[in-house]
Structure 1
Amino acid sequence: MSAKMMCGGLADAENASEEIQKICDIVKCQVEKKSGKTYNVFIAKSCKKQVVAGTNYFIKVHLGGDDHIHLRIFQGLPHAGGKLELISIKESMKLTDEIDHF
């Protein structure tokens, strides 16, 4: 991993990998339920990670056109089941909007 990260701190943004897209695919139905919308396009663009007692993922997702959403997803440690949980979303975001802690 090339992104600089310290325990508890938010790492630098990096391009979304296949792993990050898979995480988005897994939580897509949770996102749609929380937002009350259905997304035909749902492509992970970039991500910041925060190592805590598990990992917080802050992911910028392209929804089509100039529409984006930011997701905060928590993944527990493997011994705790490693479950993915959608924590929160920021809607009406643009490609140029910085991913920050929310």
Structure 2
Amino acid sequence: MEQAPQTHPGGLGGEKPATSDIQQLCDMVKADVEMKIGKNDEFVAVTYRSQVVAGTMFFIKVYIGDGKFVHVKIFRNLQQQPFLEGLQENKTENDPIEYF
């Protein structure tokens, strides 16, 4: 998995293009997201921001098809295990990723 960007602890880093590691992280929580919003044909990480805590919090913009996006909040603990921590629906491609 990708290392967290170099930011000060607790600070939310800038928005970056999603990498294959970020997509893999999304894939690990996809079933949890689908339980909340329903199954989607697509689930593609677009951009992300991260926050260093006791582990790393990832805020990821995900394309779910039909011009729709969600923002997914994933916590990866120090043992590298990901957990879905939050979800924002009804987002657009232009909505910035903000802390939630």
Query: Shared topology, TM-score over 0.5?
Result: yes
SS at match of 2:95: coil
Q: Deviations over 1:16-59 (max 9, x none)?
A: 00000000111000101122x00111000000000000000000
Q: For 2:75, give the aligned amino acid.
A: F
Conserved 8 A contact 1:10-1:50 = yes
Question: How far apart in 1 are the matches of 2:6 and 2:95?
Answer: 20
Match of 2:59 in 1: 58
Conserved 8 A contact 1:46-1:60 = yes
Conserved 8 A contact 1:49-1:57 = yes
Question: How far apart in 2 are the matches of 1:23 and 1:30?
Answer: 12
Offset of residue 15 of structure 1:
0.1
| TM superposition score normalised by structure 2 | 0.92
Match of 1:89 in 2: 87
Offset of residue 5 of structure 1:
2.0
Offset of residue 4 of structure 1:
6.0
Conserved 8 A contact 1:61-1:71 = yes
Cα RMSD (Å)? 1.3
Q: Could you tell me the percent identity over the aligned residues?
A: 36
Match of 2:39 in 1: 38
Match of 1:10 in 2: 12
Count of aligned residue pairs for this structure pair? 97
Match of 1:73 in 2: 74
**Which consecutive unaligned segments of at least 5 residues does structure 2 have?**
none
| TM superposition score normalised by structure 1 | 0.90
**Which consecutive unaligned segments of at least 5 residues does structure 1 have?**
none
1:44 and 1:76, CA in 2 relative to 1: closer, same or farther beyond 3 A? same
